[in-house]
Amino acid sequence: MNPYPWEDFRPHQQTPYIYGYTCDELTQQILTMGYREVHGPTLFGLLHRYGPNLPSWFDGQRLPRGLWHKITSSDKLDPIHRVEAHQSDDGSTKYRFHISGGSVEGIYMPFPGRHTLCISSQIGCAMGCTFCATGTMGLHRHLSAAEMVSQVLNIKQRHPDETGKTKRFNVVFMGMGEPLHNLDQVLKAVSVLTDPAGLNLSPRDVAVSTSGLIPKIEQMATVKKRPQLMVSIAATTDEARSAIMPVNRAYPLEDLMRCLERYPLRKGERVMLSYVLIENVNDTEEDARRLAAMSQRFPSLVNVIPMNEHEGSPGFVEPDESRTNAFANILLAHGVFTTIRRSRGRDVAGACGQLVQKIARKKNARTYV
């Protein structure tokens, strides 16, 4: 068995879609089509402000005749073929995006004053965490930057607030996939989302969550426009972590902690540590104390995520509420910034690949439609 399955990945789709371009790249593109440079930022701004389902009445406005039509009717604009929405009782909406070779998911989560868009970076995942529905799929392929940007635009477009404007929002790469396994395209997507001519997000409004690929965390540390870092811990000893997160065999906990100690944080920034809490697996008092000690080695906050149960991991159960609270209280007593985050959209099949799994199982266990 290959102990490093993530080295054996398949290349992302190479076809350049327009939503994967930065403003400069789009401008270069229209220059080659015979249009003037000045129209690049206008076109880029309109494409990103109005999203993939663009109103045809813009035709010609502020742009040379024909340019808008050529771009918006191009089959190289948007890599997402079809979008399905599943409304949850808790206000969140789960989306399934059909793309070439499969589908991925995203979630819209409203919070007071802002909303959070959770998107995917791969079809499936190579990391094989045993508690995770996506992990049971294996890796099918990386997503391109355009496929990530388009998920954001598709979700954002469907949630204008009452005044017609969109609220402040942030983007988290916590859907399907290991974003740091596909770092080049993730960083490309971040540079498009933060482009001043488009959505103009701050890099700090974007977060990537990783299972702990140390060389990739080190690579991200050198990037100027780097997103916020979230790390999934899930266990407090190497033995326990290697059993549920195979990535720990290559990058054990102590190495990961040292890497996070060195990670260059900006003013006020913290590393967000996610801890999926599983009954009788990682929920003891000693676990809480060890997690507190780890988190105090660098500025951090801990998100405790009670296990979202699914068919793919029958032995993994959510602890009862009092046990979850007791775990969080130990962290708090040690002065750790702690939140308990129940997965949003549980009634529409929970976090991390579970919607896709459910539908795939119903139709044909071999294809991830």
Q: Give the span between the Cα atoms of 25 and 313, in whole angstroms.
A: 44
Our answer to whether residue 318 is catalytic in this structure is no
Alpha helices by DSSP H, listed for 198-320, are 214-221, 238-244, 247-250, 253-262, 285-295
> In the bound complex, what is the minimum distance in angstroms from residue 186's beta carbon to ligand SF4?
13
Query: Phi and psi of 45, rounded to 5°?
Result: -60, -45
Using CB under 6 A as the binding rule, whether residue 300 contacts ligand SAH is answered as no
Tell me which of 80, 125, 183, 331 binds ligand SF4, using CB under 6 A.
125
What is the distance between the terminal CA atoms of the chain, rounded to a whole angstrom? Answer: 28
> In the bound complex, what is the minimum distance in angstroms from residue 164's beta carbon to ligand SAH?
32
Stretch of residues binding ligand SF4 (CB under 6 A), selected from 5-13, 120-128, 159-167, 300-308: 120-128
Q: Give the span between the Cα atoms of 87 and 176, in whole angstroms.
A: 19
Tell me which of 308, 324, 338, 357 binds ligand SAH, using CB under 6 A.
308
Stretch of residues binding ligand SF4 (CB under 6 A), selected from 12-20, 131-139, 193-201, 223-231: 131-139
Using CB under 6 A as the binding rule, whether residue 26 contacts ligand SAH is answered as no
Q: How many residues contact ligand SAH, by CB under 6 A? A: 19
Q: What does the angle CA 354 – CA 283 – CA 263 come to, to the nearest 5 degrees?
A: 75
CB neighbour class for 14 (10 Å; exposed up to 12, middle 13-18, buried from 19): exposed
Tell me which of 116, 134, 182, 343 binds ligand SF4, using CB under 6 A.
134
> In the bound complex, what is the minimum distance in angstroms from residue 231's beta carbon to ligand SAH?
7
Q: Give the span between the Cα atoms of 276 and 360, in whole angstroms.
A: 24
Using CB under 6 A as the binding rule, whether residue 129 contacts ligand SF4 is answered as yes
Tell me which of 30, 80, 153, 174 binds ligand SAH, using CB under 6 A.
174
> In the bound complex, what is the minimum distance in angstroms from residue 82's beta carbon to ligand SF4?
23
Using CB under 6 A as the binding rule, whether residue 135 contacts ligand SF4 is answered as yes
Is the distance from CB of 204 to CB of 269 less than 8 angstroms?
yes
Our answer to whether residue 352 is catalytic in this structure is yes
> In the bound complex, what is the minimum distance in angstroms from residue 302's beta carbon to ligand SF4?
16
Here the tokens at position 88 are 């949850």
Contact code string over 262-281 relative to ligand SAH, x by CB under 6 A: ------------x-x-----
Four-CA torsion 118, 123, 125, 131, nearest 10 degrees: 60
CB neighbour class for 149 (10 Å; exposed up to 12, middle 13-18, buried from 19): buried
Using CB under 6 A as the binding rule, whether residue 147 contacts ligand SF4 is answered as no
Four-CA torsion 144, 146, 147, 153, nearest 10 degrees: 160
Task: Give 37 or 311: the residue with its C-beta nearer to ligand SAH.
Answer: 311
The rounded Cα 102 to chain-centroid distance in angstroms is 17
Q: 356 contacts which partner out of ligand SF4, ligand SAH, none, CB within 5 to 8 A by kind?
A: none
Residues 6+ apart with CB under 8 A from 264: 221
CB atoms within 10 A of CB 202: 12
Using CB under 6 A as the binding rule, whether residue 178 contacts ligand SF4 is answered as yes
Residue that the structure tokens 């054990």 belong to: 252
Tell me which of 26, 99, 109, 305 binds ligand SAH, using CB under 6 A.
305
Using CB under 6 A as the binding rule, whether residue 232 contacts ligand SAH is answered as yes
Task: Give 119 or 132: the residue with its C-beta nearer to ligand SF4.
Answer: 132
Residue 35, SS3 per DSSP: coil
Task: Give 149 or 217: the residue with its C-beta nearer to ligand SAH.
Answer: 217
* Of 105, 147, 178, 318, catalytic: 105
Q: 92 contacts which partner out of ligand SAH, ligand SF4, none, CB within 5 to 8 A by kind?
A: none
Q: Give the span between the Cα atoms of 98 and 347, in whole angstroms.
A: 21
Footprint (CB under 6 A) of ligand SAH, residues 181-210: 209-210
Nearest CA among 310, 219, 320 for reference residue 264: 219
Residues in the site for ligand SAH, rule: CB under 6 A? 125, 131-132, 174, 178, 209-211, 232, 234, 274, 276, 305, 307-308, 310, 343, 351-352
Among all residues, which ones are annotated catalytic? 105, 352
Q: What residues make contact with ligand SF4 under the rule CB under 6 A?
A: 125, 127-129, 132, 134-135, 177-178, 211, 232, 352
